[in-house]
Chain A
Amino acid sequence: MMRFIAAAMIEARQLSKVFTGPKRTKIHAVENVSFRCEPGQIYGLLGANGAGKTTTLRILATLLQPTAGTASVAGFDITREAQKVRANVGFLSTATALYDRLTARETIEYFGRLNGLEGEPLRARANELMQALGIVEFAERRCDKLSTGMKQKVSIARTLVHDPPVMIFDEPTNGLDVMAARTIVGFIRDCRTRGKTVIFSSHVMSEVEKLCDVIGIIHHGKLLIEGRLEELRERTKQPDLEEIFVQTVEQREEAVKDK
């Protein structure tokens, strides 16, 4: 239904973020970034470390406030309606850890409660997620006793507990072993199948190539190019994503130098 009401579930309009670094230096982490993400699509933000991916996604998840520009997520403004944005977003990154001393079930229920669920609906939702993700057998175990893969599953359940229409993944597979990474990738695909709007950041070309419907290449805080993989191939005359990425970044560097 949302598809008909709001075409763009995520719309970033000239987002900029300036950090104050050591000795009052200004660091332009994100500069004038605009893009749109549609329901049922995976938008991939591709960039090297420090390119501004995490900052962009943190702004969308309302963890950070933009210095300039704005964005709307699920129809809500990220600065004026941050609370409503968070209620409509599932945010997962390698930095979003779980509470060691809570069990898997308690973790899921805790975030369910914070999202306004209570009593029987909360229980039902937690059970449903635990069944779907295969958490049931370790549901009563404390999170510090779980393996990385198990933790990932609990984290996924945590992001899904309020069934958000928008999913934001910040380098979700970073530092994970193959099996744990596969769980995440499978889960991201699943989100698309269910019509969710997904934005996803990575510096791993193959992952982006396999998963994403639309790809945006971000470098030094600027969105250099975006489009479907075929479009990018056409525009750059390069066969695969790695070549596309390298050429785009190099052209940009030269352009900056010439100035």
Chain B
Amino acid sequence: MNFRRIAIIYRKELRDALRDKRTIVSTIVVPILLFPLLTIGFGTLAAKSMVKMQRETSSVMLLGETNSPSLAEAIRKVENIEIVPPAADYVALINDKKLRAVVEIPQNFERDLFAQSTNRPAVKIYYYTGEVRSQMAIRNVQKVIREFSDGLVEKRLSASGLSRDDLKPFDTREENVAAPTKVGGNLIGGIIPYMIILLCFVGALHPATDLTAGEKERGTLETILAAPVERSEIVAGKFFMVLTASLITAAVSLASFTATFTLPFVAARELGKFGKSFSFDLSMTGLLGVFALMIPLAVMFSAGLLALATFARTFKEAQSYASPLIAVVLMPAMAAMLPGFEPSAKLALIPILNVSLISKDMLTGNFQWGLIALVFASSCVYALGALSLAVAMFKRESILFRT
């Protein structure tokens, strides 16, 4: 291995990549735009449809109105609903989403209510579960029914000389004592490693396929193989290029993510539309730690993809091998977002999953140094494995000259 030649190859690949629009787009442009666009786009869309839904009047059918004119009167006053005349096919109407809900007041409702008979009356509500508009309609209706019921309770209480406080002899109060970093970390601490791991992989994907299978396809591989360089030097030069792309993608996405969630005008504004305030304080040491752990992971991705793409004959073939891997990377990366999934010594040995779990932990300001060291060490072992696989693939002539 000659470092001068590795550097020559690396510099050439870097120059080559900087002139390749697709590499620039996948390593720099996409990660920069992804987070702001996602939050703004999603936020705007969600806020808009929420507002629209809240404003929209939903049709509700009232059955047995005469059984309780006072309750019917109250329901009629509910905002954003329109009472439609009774019809027999209300089930079909709800299923067709022409009707959001049906409220049925049973016969003898008022008699049973006031006579205090053993017959407990029940108001029935028919709706479409899982359908947001239907659920919003019944939420409004239920609120009115509850008020109606509360009024009755109050009357009955005063009739027996009691007040509301008698129903609730004491209060409970909750207070959050967790540090703001932990709250912020828990909210988005799972998303950050997930996004960065994914982008680390995606950033390596294009250059890895282009530098191996792409070269085979274009016929430049034979040219470089005929030059007085060792094959391991060629792999090393290419590997460093792919790693650079992967790390730049990770760094750029991390910066873009941080900017999106700390600059007041981007995410905070969007999320403010929901009327809640979010705290995005993250542990800065944790953020640095996450990036440090990403390095062996990026090495593994870069070398693994190089090995895989070396096997392919054409760029397209390489991409069809590599694309399903996104799902493989996605699953363990997503695990950090699952509640109650905590890092442990066993999980520290599972690639990708270990980094995503420990990253979330670090972002919440929780540093379990023993586990962090274990995750780092096992990631390094996987990275070295992938690297030696890439070199081995590149030395096999049956793979380089596969036809």
Contacts of B219 in A (CB 8 A): 95-97
Which residue in chain B gives the minimum CB-CB distance to A161? Answer: B227
Contacts A84-B228, A97-B220, A100-B218 aside, 12 further interface pairs with beta carbons under 8 A come to A65-B397, A83-B229, A93-B222, A96-B223, A98-B220, A102-B12, A102-B16, A111-B227, A114-B5, A114-B229, A142-B19, A162-B228
B157 within 8 Å of A (CB atoms): no
0/1 interface trace, chain A 81-96, chain B, CB 8 Å (1 if under):
0011011010101011
Contact with B along A57-80 (1 / 0, CB 8 A): 010011111000000000000000
Q: Which of B12, B15, B19, B227 contacts A86 (CB 8 A)?
A: B227
Cβ distance A150 to chain B, nearest Cβ, rounded Å: 16
* Residues of chain B contacted by A19 (CB below 8 angstroms): 398
Q: A20 in the interface, Cβ–Cβ < 8 Å?
A: yes
Query: CA–CA, A97 to B220, complex, Å?
Result: 5
Taking a contact as CB atoms under 8 Å apart, the answer to whether B226 and A110 are in contact is: no
- Give the Cβ gap from A107 to chain B, nearest Cβ, in Å: 9
Task: Mark each residue of chain B from 1 to 28: 1 if its CB lies under 8 Å from any CB of chain A, else 0.
Answer: 0000100110010011001100000000
Expressed in whole angstroms, the Cα–Cα distance for A133 and B227 within the complex equals: 21
Q: Across the interface, do B19 and A101 meet the contact criterion of CB distance under 8 Å?
A: yes
- Closest chain A CB from B110 CB (angstroms): 84
A100-117: which residues lie under 8 A (CB-CB) from chain B? 100-102, 106, 110-111, 113-116
Q: B228 contacts which of A101, A114, A142 (Cβ < 8 Å)?
A: A114
A87:B228 contact, CB within 8 angstroms: yes
Q: Which residue of A lies closest to B16 (CB)?
A: A101
- A65-B397, A95-B219, A110-B12 in contact; A101/B230 too (CB < 8 A)? no
Contact: B8 with A86, CB < 8 Å?
A: no
- Which residues of chain A come closer than 8 Å to B230, judged between CB atoms? 83
A115 and B228 contacting across the interface, CB-CB below 8 Å: yes
Question: What's the tally of chain B residues with a CB closer than 8 Å to chain A?
Answer: 22
Enumerate chain A interface residues (CB-CB to B < 8 A).
19-20, 58, 61-65, 83-84, 86-87, 89, 91, 93, 95-102, 106, 110-111, 113-116, 142, 158, 162
Query: In the complex, what residues of B have CB within 8 A of residue A20's CB?
Result: 398
CB-defined A-B contacts under 8 Å, sample of 23 = A58-B401, A62-B226, A63-B222, A63-B225, A63-B397, A64-B401, A65-B397, A83-B228, A86-B227, A86-B229, A93-B222, A96-B219, A96-B226, A98-B220, A102-B12, A110-B8, A110-B12, A114-B9, A114-B228, A114-B229, A115-B228, A142-B19, A158-B223
- Whether B228 pairs with A86 at a CB distance below 8 angstroms is yes
* With contact pairs A63-B222, A102-B12 given, residues A115 and B401 touching in the complex (Cβ less than 8 Å): no
CA distance A67 to B16 in the complex (A): 36
Contact B397 A97 (CB under 8 A): no
CA A115 to CA B9, docked complex, whole Å = 12
Chain B residues near A84 (CB-CB < 8 A): 228
The reply to whether B20 and A101 contact each other, CB–CB distance below 8 Å, is yes
Contacts of A83 in B (CB 8 A): 228-230
Determine the chain A residues whose CB is within 8 A of the CB of B5 once the complex forms.
114
**Smallest CB–CB gap between B14 and chain A, Å?**
11
By the criterion CB–CB under 8 Å, are B226 and A91 in contact? yes
Which residue in B8, B19, B398 is a CB contact (below 8 Å) of A114? Answer: B8
Of all chain B residues, the one with the shortest Cβ separation from A115 is B228
Contacts of B220 in A (CB 8 A): 96-99
Please measure, in the bound complex, the distance between the C-alpha atom of A93 and the C-alpha atom of B225, giving whole angstroms. 12
Find A96's partner among B8, B15, B222, B229 (CB 8 Å cutoff): B222
In the docked arrangement, what's the CA distance between A64 and B5, Å? 22
A63 in complex: contacting residue of B8, B218, B226, CB < 8 Å: B226
**CB proximity of A69 to chain B, nearest CB, Å:** 16
| A75 nearest CB across to chain B (Å) | 15
Asked if A115 and B227 sit within 8 Å, CB to CB, the answer is yes
Contact A102:B222 (CB < 8 A) given known A65-B397, A111-B227, A115-B228? no
In the bound complex, what is the Cα–Cα distance between A142 and B15 (angstroms)?
Answer: 12
A11 to B17, CA, bound (A): 41
Contact B401 A63 (CB under 8 A): yes
- Nearest to B9 among chain A residues (CB) is A114
CA distance A99 to B210 in the complex (A): 12
A177 to B230, CA, bound (A): 35
Name the residue in A64, A98, A113 with the highest tally of chain B Cβ atoms < 10 Å from its Cβ: A113
Nearest chain A residue, comparing its CB with the CB of B400: A63
CA distance A100 to B15 in the complex (A): 12
Greatest chain B CB density within 10 A among A89, A96, A162 is at: A96
Q: A155's closest neighbor in chain B, by CB?
A: B223
Distance between Cα atoms of A86 and B227 in the complex (Å)? 6
> What separation, in Å, do the CA atoms of A86 and B223 have in the docked complex?
11
CA distance A97 to B19 in the complex (A): 18
- Residues of B within 8 Å of A115, CB to CB, are 227-228
Give the CA-CA distance A65 to B225 in the complex, in Å: 13
Q: Are B222 and A95 in contact (CB under 8 A)?
A: yes
Residues of B within 8 A of A64 (CB): 397, 401
Instruction: Pick the contact of B218: A61, A97, A111 (CB < 8 A).
Output: A97
Contact with A along B215-258 (1 / 0, CB 8 A): 00011101101111110000000000000000000000000000
Interface centre among A61, A62, A95 (most CB of B within 10 A): A95
Q: Is the CB of B226 within 8 A of A86?
A: yes
Complex interface: chain A residues within 8 A of B8 (CB): 110, 113-114
Set of chain A residues within 8 Å of B218, measured between Cβ atoms: 97, 100
B226 x A114 contact (CB < 8 A): no
CB distance from B258 to the nearest CB of A (A): 33
* B226 engages A97 (CB within 8 Å): no
The residue in chain B whose Cβ has the minimal distance to the Cβ of A17 is B397
Chain B residues within 8 Å of A86, by CB: 226-229
CA distance A4 to B398 in the complex (A): 38
CA distance A102 to B218 in the complex (A): 14
7 smallest beta-carbon distances between A and B, as pairs: A97-B219, A87-B228, A91-B226, A86-B228, A96-B223, A101-B19, A114-B227
Return the contact of B16 from the options A58, A65, A87, A99 (Cβ within 8 A): A99
